[in-house]
Amino acid sequence: MEVKIGITDSPRELVLSSAQTPAEVEELVSAALSEGSGLLRLDDERGRRFLVQTSKIAYVEIGPADARRVGFGIGAEVAKLTGKGAKGE
């Protein structure tokens, strides 16, 4: 599962892959924001720990990991639909 955290005053977002369920991540975020502990702690799939100051959190997006496509998949799909080979035969 992918977690994106928007940080105030930063043009980039923090993106991590988590083995936790969306409900577990939501619980951790909600608890960190409501308890006033000042820190959100999340661990990624590689065992790295991320600490984010809660006062700097703009948003948290929780969702499935994007399947990253590599190569020329669109061209292959068009060739398959039109019945033409890869070289436009």
Backbone angles phi, psi at 57, to 5 degrees: -80, 120
Q: Given the DSSP bridges, would you call strands 39-43 and 13-17 parallel, antiparallel or unpaired?
A: unpaired
Q: Hey, where are the domains in the chain?
A: 2-67
Q: What is the pLDDT of residues 43-66, one digit of tens each?
A: 999 999 999 999 999 999 999 876
Is the pLDDT at 76 greater than 70, yes or no? no
Q: What is the pLDDT of residues 2-27, one digit of tens each?
A: 999 999 999 999 999 999 999 999 99
pTM of the model: 0.69
Q: What is the mean pLDDT of residues 70-78?
A: 57
Q: Which of the pair, 88 or 41, is modelled with greater confidence?
A: 41
Q: Which of the pair, 86 or 50, is modelled with greater confidence?
A: 50
Integer Cα distance of 56 and 17 in angstroms: 20
Residues 6+ apart with CB under 8 A from 21: 1
Q: Which of the pair, 83 or 47, is modelled with greater confidence?
A: 47
Residues 6+ apart with CB under 8 A from 85: 79
Helices (H) and strands (E) in the chain, counts: 2, 5
